A and B are shown apart, each in its own frame.
Chain A
Amino acid sequence: MLCQECGKRPATVHITRIVNGKQSDLDLCEECARQYQQELGIKFWPNFSVPQFLASLLSPDVSWEGSSGAGHTKTERQLRCQECGLTYEQFQKTGRLGCSKCYQYFGEQLRSLVRRIHGHTRHTGKVPARGADTIKVKKDLERLRALLAELVEKEEFERAAQVRDQIRALEGRL
């Protein structure tokens, strides 16, 4: 298929727009798409890079319903990390967070992005030994409580009692 705009180069960018419920399709080559990116309200990145890709995932600019970023509430756009001052909008542009506290301040927005990237939102790997005793204890507790439920289910009460004691001992350390 050739580009609808120049009619010369092959169309490699396919855009479906829905404006006020009316659908229109556009097939463009890279060059024409780049020229029209402003007008179309899309971000076009000829050189793929992870941060740009990330940025585009949640960027209000890729919203198809006009270029005003409709669909994103004001509060979402004004999310700001109270520690380093980075706004969520800035993060969307660079794909880089400013500090470790951004993970807290960007809350659910960031969590849903992380879920899209990794398919998970919970770390299950290595835990630092120092200063993280409580984390280790909490993780152990989680594991033991699951085990306890399983043992009770299987009516293995003797072992369940042992596990219950372990849980009590750990809870005392928190």
Chain B
Amino acid sequence: MRSGPWKGAFRPLGGEVVVSVHSKWLEGSGPHADIAISSRVRLARNLSGYPFPSLLSGPGAAQVVDSIGKAIRSPGVVKAAGILHLVEMADLPLIDRQALVEKHLISPQHAAADSRHQAVALRDDESVSIMINEEDHIRLQCLLPALQLHEAWRAATAIDDALEKELNFAFDENYGYLTACPTNVGTGLRASVMVHLPALVMTKKADPVLGALTQVGLTVRGLYGEGSQATGNLFQISNQVTLGVDEEEVLAHLSNVAKQIIDQERELRENIRRSQGERLRDQVGRAYGLLRYAHVISTEEALSLLSQVRLGVDLKLIEGLDARQLNQLLVLIQPAFLQKVMGREMTAEERDIERARIIRQHLGGN
């Protein structure tokens, strides 16, 4: 369902996939949705009998895409995953691939794919995506809103079971699922939660609290994964170890740690509200004002102001806005998305102007 000012703004992305901001994970509802934006579970799998993608020849890679494509259309997988649309990367314009990165559906490396036989399969609501021939033959991802790691895992493991009935996965008794990079071997599971932590950052507790996570086998990254900065007070917390621990343990651990961080964030927000209420109201109000009336704005500035506004909405200092609208803006203001909306390539300056226009339109400024 499209709503508001974007009605009809998006054109087909190529193949059957459409660029829209109606990914399931942007819904903004579910457990702890005020702080946890999304939960992701990713499984890495490889077909036995083929080299890993980096050493795979053209014909071999084509066979891998073909077998996985067939498996995806099998009744068992359709039952578990729903209908998945398969698109070869080479058939997608670069800008569309970039838009899929901005929606966290494929990796930047996959978007940069220059050969044929690299593909992505997507469910309509984008809660399920499968990258084919990225670093591994299969990278299955389930992405849900709020803190729903176990739900995402249940979906992913059911799809994995169904795929496994059609395909022969490379598996070793001792090493578990075999992957191209030894950092993924074993369960092949990478689970992550994206959390919004403005109060932890404001009180300078983000570094010590998040830094300590490495000691319990977790890592922290920014909004766009490996190497990206934590703009807009958004952090991704994920597991590091994939061998010697079972999936449920990993998920329970990550979930517990995420809950503890969420509790801390909530407590700090209350403290700030109690001790510096007017200052907080001022800060949030200024951010809201800037976003509603600015005419040129960079991604970084927009993300940082949106973080303040989100805090204002969570603390009921701003009325008439909800988490879903703010989540959609997170994606809509990204460079490739803006250019998709406009239907043409734009300079950085043009994007800053268009970004400000979209935000004004969305937040009811003028």
Contacts and interface: CB of A to CB of B under 8 A. Distances in A.
Given A123-B176, A125-B186, A132-B171, A96 B165 contact: no
Interface size class of B (residues with CB under 8 A): 35 or more
B247 A125 contact: yes
Interface string A81-98: 001101000000011111
A103 B227 contact: no
Given A96-B180, A118-B242, A124-B244, A49 B227 contact: yes
Given A54-B183, A97-B182, A130-B165, A122 B171 contact: no
B55 A124 contact: no
B182 A110 contact: yes
Contacts of A96: 52, 54, 135, 180-181
Contact of B181 (A51, A124, A126): A51
A39 to B, nearest CB: 28
A123 B230 CA distance: 33
B65 interface: no
Residue in A100, A124, A129 whose Cβ sees the most chain B Cβ within 10 Å: A100
Given A103-B172, A114-B182, A127-B171, A122 B55 contact: no
Contacts of B51: 83-84, 98-99
Chain B, interface SS category = loop
Interface in B129-175: 135, 157, 160-161, 164-165, 168-175
B50 interface: yes
Contacts of B52: 96-100
Nearest to B160: A126
A2 interface: no
B236 interface: no
Contact of A48 (B161, B168, B227): B227
Residue in B46, B177, B182 whose Cβ sees the most chain A Cβ within 10 Å: B182
A122 B175 CA distance: 6
B244 A119 contact: yes
B55 A126 contact: no
A118 B173 contact: no
A131 B168 contact: yes
B171 A128 contact: yes
A122 B247 CA distance: 14
Contacts of A24: none
B173 A135 contact: yes
Chain A, interface SS category = loop
A86 B56 CA distance: 12
A37 interface: no
B29 interface: no
B245 interface: yes
Contacts, number: 116
A123 B244 contact: yes
Interface residues of A, number: 38
B226 interface: yes
A127 B160 CA distance: 11
A95 B185 contact: no
Contact of B227 (A47, A95, A114): A47
B105 interface: no
Interface string A122-161: 1111111111100100100000000000000000000000
B308 interface: no
A122 B164 contact: no
A95 B182 CA distance: 8
Interface in A100-126: 100, 103, 110, 113-114, 117-126
B46 to A, nearest CB: 6
A50 B107 CA distance: 15
B247 to A, nearest CB: 5
A120 to B, nearest CB: 2
Interface in A52-78: 54
Contacts of B165: 130
A50 B181 contact: yes
Per CB-CB distance, the 3 closest pairs between chain A and chain B, nearest first, are A120-B244, A123-B176, A100-B170
25 contacts: A50-B183, A96-B54, A96-B180, A97-B52, A97-B181, A98-B52, A110-B182, A114-B243, A117-B243, A118-B242, A118-B244, A119-B241, A120-B241, A121-B243, A122-B174, A123-B177, A123-B187, A123-B243, A125-B176, A125-B189, A125-B246, A128-B164, A128-B169, A129-B161, A131-B168
Interface of A: 47-51, 54, 83-84, 86, 94-100, 103, 110, 113-114, 117-132, 135, 138
Interface of B: 46, 48, 50-52, 54-55, 135, 157, 160-161, 164-165, 168-178, 180-183, 185-187, 189, 226-227, 241-247
Given A123-B185, A126-B160, 20 more contacts: A49-B227, A54-B181, A95-B181, A96-B52, A99-B55, A100-B172, A100-B178, A103-B185, A113-B182, A118-B244, A121-B243, A123-B172, A124-B244, A124-B245, A125-B247, A126-B187, A128-B171, A129-B161, A129-B164, A130-B165
